[in-house]
Structure 1
Amino acid sequence: MAIAFTFSSFQIFTTTILLIFSPYCSVYAKATTHSNPFKNVYAFGDSYTDTGNTRSNTGPNGFTFVSNLPYGSTFFHRPTNRYSDGRLMIDFVAQALSLPFLPPYLDPMADDKSPGGVNFAVAGSTAIIHSFFKMNNMTLDITPQSLQTQLGWFNKLLQSKGCKDSTTSPKECKAVFDEALIWVGEIGANDYAYSFTSSVPTNTIQQLAINSVTAFLQELLKKGAKYVVVQGLPPTGCLTLSMYLAPSNDRDDMGCVGNANKQSYNHNTALKAKLNVLKKQFPNSVIVYADYYSAYLTVIKNPHKYGFKELFKVCCGYGGGTYNFNYLNACGSQSSTSCDNPSQYINWDGVHLTEAMYKAMADAYLNGNYSQPPFSYLLSKKQQSG
């Protein structure tokens, strides 16, 4: 995030930034199954979408108490390694489509041949390949997986189904993609965070990240992907960690960190421009932009409509005060405490959201006006195709 911290704040930042976007889980709770438009959902992204490809001992450092209560307490009533009190956005998407929760690709118990789909998202993952950060001495990035890694895993799954490409195996690829929703969760926030204070300009990070996402989407579309949803970045300046670390005079009209939100907004603008190009290149596919940024700010502007009372204070944390956040006393540790009513909070642990906020965002995409074109249009195109 492009935030002008003092050096002492940066020391805290380097300790805590690896905590961002790091939910870990391996839960196969089922949604009620009945007639549904898709047989599978294939999900990609970072920790906001990860349902178990990383765990406490394999993912980014920090928030190592994710396997402790109160994580998972709201819905699962036990820790699930999701960085939330309950379900993530992708869980609500699966349920809305009457599909099981997506198993993580790396879980040895997951069966990638079973109906419902697979989740390839990785906590701490970047859009840009890891070697770029290593080459430029961006030591905050210790997560080797990137969006390219996830694409490699998906290609292996496709090959197991006989799908190589739309030219040499059109029938097999058609069988996969005609019944599949491709869900690309938010990806790119870690790229900016890991490059903080480096000599690489923010504009370079943006260009490389957008180009990576574009290349990823092009490969899927060339293989025959027909129904694709791509999430933008949320307003990262509204996360408690940003509020906690940034100078108090760096605020926008929403009360969030202005520089961080501007960075996310600019990223999303560039992403939407690329998606418009892809829509013209692949007119037979439906490509939907899920406007995370606008949906999130709509809640910030009118929180009581959604049942929220706390916009920036975390439900699970330490210290009370304005934010109830302290990086040395992370959620789930013995010293932390949690609120009795997480549904009234937007921020769960300082870097991730509550189930209630994930539900609000999923509803904004699936049933509201924050998908372009509307998600209902994608469903109608699917129904028309049979």
Structure 2
Amino acid sequence: MTKSRSRTTTTTTSSFDPKKKKNHFWFYVISLAIFIPSTTSTSPTLINFGDSNSDTGGVLAGAGLPIGLPHGITFFHRGTGRLGDGRLIIDFFCEELKLSYLSPYLEALAPNFTSGVNFAVSGATTLPQFVPFALDVQVRQFIHFKNRSLELQSFGKIEKMMDEEGFKKGIYMIDIGQNDVLVALYQSNLTYKSVAQKIPSFLAQIKLAIQNLYANGGRKFWIHNTGPLGCSPKELALHPHTHKDVDKIGCLRVHNQVAKFFNKGLKNVCKELRSQLNDAIVVYVDIYTIKYNLFAHPKTYGLENDPLMACCGYGGAPNNYNVKATCGQPGYSICSNPSKSIIWDGVHYTDAANHLVASSIFSSHFSTPKLSLHQLSSL
């Protein structure tokens, strides 16, 4: 809240002196400069890198992969390139910070980059390098985007573009790694040790990405860990298992074990970078714990449908997932109330679940250091 500021005006009985006209002029100029609010925008900007967890249309724009209804049916009521029935976590970030939803970097038709830019593309990984749209490629795209944006501004073309202040004070977000872990699991026939040996190479790419972004002006970093992959209806449906293979709430043990190993390493990477990049802020966000809580206590959050069952899919219980008839393909069906489900299509979360996750993130209880997005944006 802005407090009102009182001023005391001193009057004088002396007559107007033309010789003092210039001084009176500067007095009023200075007064206006002090008391007229600045019109410079103080809104934060978000620069995002990642995979389908935060892809707002990158795979549609970049690969031409059509992602239409029923994806988007709950909130947007149309396909937007997002995988889910509505908003993603990053969309709720934008709403909370009073920003427009982020345009994908690759969107050619009427993009709006005033609130930031999104480089995330569904299916993206950290490795191998130089493969569209791996993390290192996304960072290279950012460097080009920044250079080109500032160049256009030097020509006076600044409509719907980020300015230098936006790049300087922007929050650089990274949410990636789950696809690397899953591919490694498939290749190892779900063997923990083999996957654990590969994880340091994934983490090295995330560390390098942050270092490169720092070298190009980034100072505020917001890093998400990966969620409980073993609770995914798709993974449960694809991999035959017994009660020995799942934990007490029914999630695949090995998937969640490697996810937690990845997350432990990522947390250490963030800690290392805090000591190396003295003037940077690196916030690590524990998405895993937030999402696992949804699966462990769904009814507490108003999620009454079976937590391990996809809302949109084929096959019914226990997981409603069939690779031959996934959400949107012939034969699929949708649950009567997606807002009561955690998982939309076997992999991606519902609008309702993403809202719950975002709300937990806003509390800052799951952030290290304990900073909220609002606090970080104001620094």
TM > 0.5 = yes
| From 291, 297, 317, the counterpart of 1:296 | 291
1:333 correspondence with 2:329: yes
Return the alpha-carbon distance in structure 2 between the equivalents of residues 212 and 130 of structure 1.
9
1:43 correspondence with 2:48: yes
Return the alpha-carbon distance in structure 2 between the equivalents of residues 40 and 84 of structure 1.
24
Give the CA deviation at 1:78.
1.7
Give the CA deviation at 1:182.
1.1
2:147 equivalent in structure 1: 159
Change (3 A) 1:371 1:101: same
1:262 equivalent in structure 2: 257
Give CA-to-partner distance per residue, 1:157-212, whole Å, 9 cap, x none.
1112449xxxxxxxx99634333111112x11211223332599323420110000
| From 125, 129, 134, the counterpart of 1:146 | 134
Change (3 A) 1:65 1:128: closer
Give CA-to-partner distance per residue, 1:286-337, whole Å, 9 cap, x none.
2111111111112222211211122111111112121111111111123111
Unaligned runs of 5+ in 1: 1-33, 132-142, 164-171
| From 172, 181, 187, the counterpart of 1:182 | 172
* Structure index of larger Rg: 2
1:234-249 matches, within 5 Å, as 234-246=227-239, 247-248=241-242, 249=244
Return the alpha-carbon distance in structure 2 between the equivalents of residues 303 and 326 of structure 1.
23
Return the alpha-carbon distance in structure 1 between the equivalents of residues 41 and 365 of structure 2.
22
Partners of 1:39 and 1:115 within 8 A in 2? no
Return the alpha-carbon distance in structure 2 between the equivalents of residues 104 and 88 of structure 1.
14
Partners of 2:46 and 2:117 within 8 A in 1? yes
Q: Which has the higher contact order (CA 8 A, sep 6+)?
A: 1
| 4+ long deviations beyond 4 Å | 34-37
**Structure 1 stretch 315-324 or stretch 82-91: which is displaced more?**
315-324
1:120-131 matches, within 5 Å, as 120-130=119-129
Partners of 2:48 and 2:173 within 8 A in 1? yes
1:231-380 matches, within 5 Å, as 231-246=224-239, 247-248=241-242, 249-309=244-304, 310-376=306-372, 379-380=374-375
Return the alpha-carbon distance in structure 2 between the equivalents of residues 268 and 282 of structure 1.
21
| From 168, 181, 185, the counterpart of 1:192 | 181
Change (3 A) 1:207 1:328: same
Return the alpha-carbon distance in structure 2 between the equivalents of residues 57 and 120 of structure 1.
10
3-state SS of 1:127 partner = coil
Partners of 1:56 and 1:66 within 8 A in 2? no
Report which of the two has the higher share of helix: 2
3-state SS of 1:375 partner = coil
3-state SS of 2:329 partner = coil
User: What amino acid is aligned across from residue 121 of structure 2 in structure 1?
Assistant: V
- The CA RMSD measured in Å over matched residues stands at 2.6
3-state SS of 2:80 partner = coil
Give CA-to-partner distance per residue, 1:49-68, whole Å, 9 cap, x none.
11111139937xxxx8731x
3-state SS of 1:288 partner = strand
Change (3 A) 1:198 1:188: same
Return the alpha-carbon distance in structure 1 between the equivalents of residues 235 and 111 of structure 2.
38
Partners of 2:220 and 2:282 within 8 A in 1? yes
Return the alpha-carbon distance in structure 1 between the equivalents of residues 62 and 138 of structure 2.
19
Give CA-to-partner distance per residue, 1:127-175, whole Å, 9 cap, x none.
12246xxxxxxxxxxx632000100100001112449xxxxxxxx9963
Return the alpha-carbon distance in structure 2 between the equivalents of residues 36 and 313 of structure 1.
45
Return the alpha-carbon distance in structure 1 between the equivalents of residues 145 and 116 of structure 2.
11
TM-score, length-scaled by structure 2:
0.79
Change (3 A) 1:100 1:92: same
User: What amino acid is aligned across from residue 308 of structure 1 in structure 2?
Assistant: L
**Structure 1 stretch 279-288 or stretch 355-364: which is displaced more?**
279-288
Partners of 1:104 and 1:110 within 8 A in 2? no
Give the CA deviation at 1:274.
0.9
Return the alpha-carbon distance in structure 2 between the equivalents of residues 356 and 71 of structure 1.
14
User: What amino acid is aligned across from residue 87 of structure 1 in structure 2?
Assistant: R
2:28 equivalent in structure 1: none
User: What amino acid is aligned across from residue 316 of structure 2 in structure 1?
Assistant: G
3-state SS of 2:374 partner = helix
Change (3 A) 1:107 1:382: closer
Partners of 2:171 and 2:220 within 8 A in 1? yes
**Structure 1 stretch 152-161 or stretch 261-270: which is displaced more?**
152-161
Change (3 A) 1:179 1:130: closer
**Structure 1 stretch 261-270 or stretch 217-226: which is displaced more?**
217-226
Change (3 A) 1:207 1:319: same
1:72 equivalent in structure 2: 72
**Structure 1 stretch 98-107 or stretch 237-246: which is displaced more?**
237-246
Return the alpha-carbon distance in structure 2 between the equivalents of residues 35 and 338 of structure 1.
47
1:118 correspondence with 2:114: no
Give the CA deviation at 1:261.
0.2
Give the CA deviation at 1:37.
5.6
Return the alpha-carbon distance in structure 1 between the equivalents of residues 56 and 251 of structure 2.
28
Give percent identity, aligned residues only: 31
Partners of 2:223 and 2:285 within 8 A in 1? yes
Return the alpha-carbon distance in structure 1 between the equivalents of residues 42 and 96 of structure 2.
10
3-state SS of 1:86 partner = coil
